Structure 1
Amino acid sequence: MKTRQTAEIILKNMAKVLNLEENYFIDVAADNAPTFARFNYFPPCLRPDLVYGIRPHADGGAITILLPDKEVEGLQVLKDGQWIKVPIIPDALIVNVADQIEIMSNGELKSPMHRVITNSEKQRISVAMFYLSEMEKCLAPAPELINEIKPMLFKKMKAREYRDIFFQHLMRGENKALLPISSFFQLFKCRRLVRICLYGKSQ
């Protein structure tokens, strides 16, 4: 399948950039890993200042490949506290790194917060292909990317566990499920750290 081949090419090159074995990410996003498409239709909206096409969020899978509308912009990425428009480039695909790759790269590759805004005059159509890790595979930072300067940022867990965490946050209306261990290390005792890292707050 062409889309699967495209995803594998991207994953191989991402691994090479980090000086990892080229199949490092592919070995986790295996052939029987979940893959699905979402067709997005955004009609004209009279109040684009009040209505999102898609609310701010970060993707919970491995990568997302997006075929955007050819004419109407809408996708925005959060950078340094500012929302930046993603421009339309003819015949180009947009690739989002998602949470599972951020975990495996120990934060070297970031899963960006993004949103879709509506247009008051024009409709917008896009297609997104989501690639996830195989559910029983282990998500953990690559050992080659852990050192004294950059310690392990994320707890090891199965992809199935992270999927459940992601959807729990989604159902609560929270924008991002992925939280580094270091965010809480100075604030909570180690025996509570796992729960905080997984769920984002003390329970």
Structure 2
Amino acid sequence: MAPAALKPVQELLQDGTVPEKYLQQFEDDTRLNQDCPLPLMDGLIIDCSLLSSSSPKELEKIRSVLSTWGCFQLVNHGMTSEMLDEVRDMSKQFFRLPLEEKEKYSSKGDSLEGYGNDNAIRDGNFNWNDKLHLQVYPEHRQQLQFWPETPLNFRATLHEYSNKIKQISELLLKAMARSLELEENRFFELWGDDKEDIIHARFNFYPCCPTANRVVGLKPHTDGSAITILLQDKEVEGLQVLKDGQWFRVPIIPDALVIHVADQLEC
């Protein structure tokens, strides 16, 4: 039997108890104080269609929100509600599969790609989270043995979605450069190489927990990429961001993508 660090979190639920390694200490953590709910990260919305038209007002807005918050919600990005729902649904369908089916795509060794969790390579207490992590670009480096064949539409949908995300990334990198009065391709030349620069897709699943007030889906962290583009669940809020020592809840906005400037672009 696999050690707890290597087991999918869904499998741990069959034992009826949460292993101690998943239990967190929250005495001084205001993020979980139910008597004082966190404020919302409100009003940080960028219209992608205006970025495409190089609207001076929208470029100034993106410069402002990125220099103060480092993140925003992107609307009018060109992906339909139906497509975003399909991405969410196929993720949920995959995690509902029997364990033996999901394990066909399990991560191997210390590879990030595949199904499972990252707990074996993390310090401290574990995340209450299972994941499916796939490299989607460059296409010649895709490891398709980790790409699920069930549900049947998974591969085609992920390919279509990833292509749209790639286009949005290019637009954003160019808009960010223009907002700083830099040459448009300044950032895109650093992170837009079709043959070298990597784009990953990661699907996160947070199973219901009998001691939900003692676990964390993903511990506070930064992303090591240039930018992160995140599609939230339509119904369950949970994403939080830290600004000036204060945690804020990220609201659910229908069809919006959460854009986060990651370590490689942050300065």
Instruction: Answer 1 or 2: which has greater helix percent.
Output: 2
Q: Which has the larger radius of gyration?
A: 2
Instruction: Answer 1 or 2: which has greater strand percent.
Output: 1
